[in-house]
Amino acid sequence: MAISAGMVKELREKTGAGMMDCQRALQEANGDMEEAIKILRKKGLSAAAKKAGRTAKDGLVAIAVAEDGRRAGMVELNCETDFVARTEQYQAFAQALADQVAADGISDVEKVKATRYAADPLHTVGDVIGSQIATIGENILLSRVGFMAAAPGMKIGSYLHMGGKIGVIVEVSDAADDETVKDVAMQIAAAEPRWVTSNEVPAEAVNEEREIAKAQAAASGKPEQVIEKIADGKVAKFYEQVCLVDQPFVKDPAKKVSAVLAERGGAVVKGFLRFKLGEGAAAVEK
């Protein structure tokens, strides 16, 4: 009998199995819904539904950079335990997803899940995640994806910290040598900047810091004429914390990152993405 899209949707909702797996099960069961559920259970695919609600805050960040350094993809793929995150199967799957993001140029999780999986075009990425849940035995969550394409005169570098606990992709000038690219990426991983330069900081964030500083100074009894100077100093300190080029260089805190870049041929940083394991999963749960 003909298998309708509605039947496939109903079976997916009941079992949590992938779309193509549901379609094949219905075809095998000749449209009998209960029999199709039994078929999926025998294959272990319906187990994904029960596991999908479990907390997945472990896992890893994976990065793929094209050979020419012009495109890069990064994903945060979460699971329940570090044991699973360290398996070859899981790491290979995370890397395959990063490769696909770099190739497809998609930076939206739901759009990535809806695309055909490059290694198995008969299934979507979402379908394959469901199959992985059933096979591995833990909930798996694709919580974040990031894509970066280099502008003319720029290239992309990357850094993975602690085997995938923190990942960074960064766009730097072509003239930057490998050591500089790595140092910048490591700086971003370690010091957690939010912007490259102070020009990128939203006015609202600066005003908030300034008002807090002024209120604190006034509460401590500082005279009016020095409150503005205190606020200026607090804002400058804020920039040192959140702006990459204003931060102390982690390898030599006596220098700012901007000074190090100037010493190394005037290398320029245009942008970056930083994923820390667990942050994406936490955002999804909110």
pLDDT of res. 43: 65
pLDDT tens, 172-185?
Answer: 999 999 999 999 99
The verdict on pTM exceeding 0.85 is no
Say how far apart CA 221 and CA 283 lie, in whole Å. 40
DSSP string, 232-248: HHHHHHHHHHHBGGGSE
Residue 45 near residue 131, CB atoms below 8 Å:
yes
Q: What Cα–Cα distance (Å) separates residue 59 from each residue in 141, 145, 164, 210, 254?
A: 9, 14, 8, 39, 36
In this prediction, residues 180-195 reach a mean pLDDT of 98
Quickly state the pLDDT bin for 50 (edges 50, 70, 90): low
Residue ranges with strand state E in the chain: 58-65, 71-79, 116-117, 120-124, 141-149, 154-161, 166-173, 248-249, 252-256, 269-276
Q: What is the mean pLDDT of the chain?
A: 91
What domains can you pick out in the chain, each with its CATH number? 5-51 (1.10.8.10), 58-196+268-285 (3.30.479.20)
Say how far apart CA 148 and CA 64 lie, in whole Å. 10
pLDDT of res. 41: 66
Name the DSSP letter for residue 276.
E
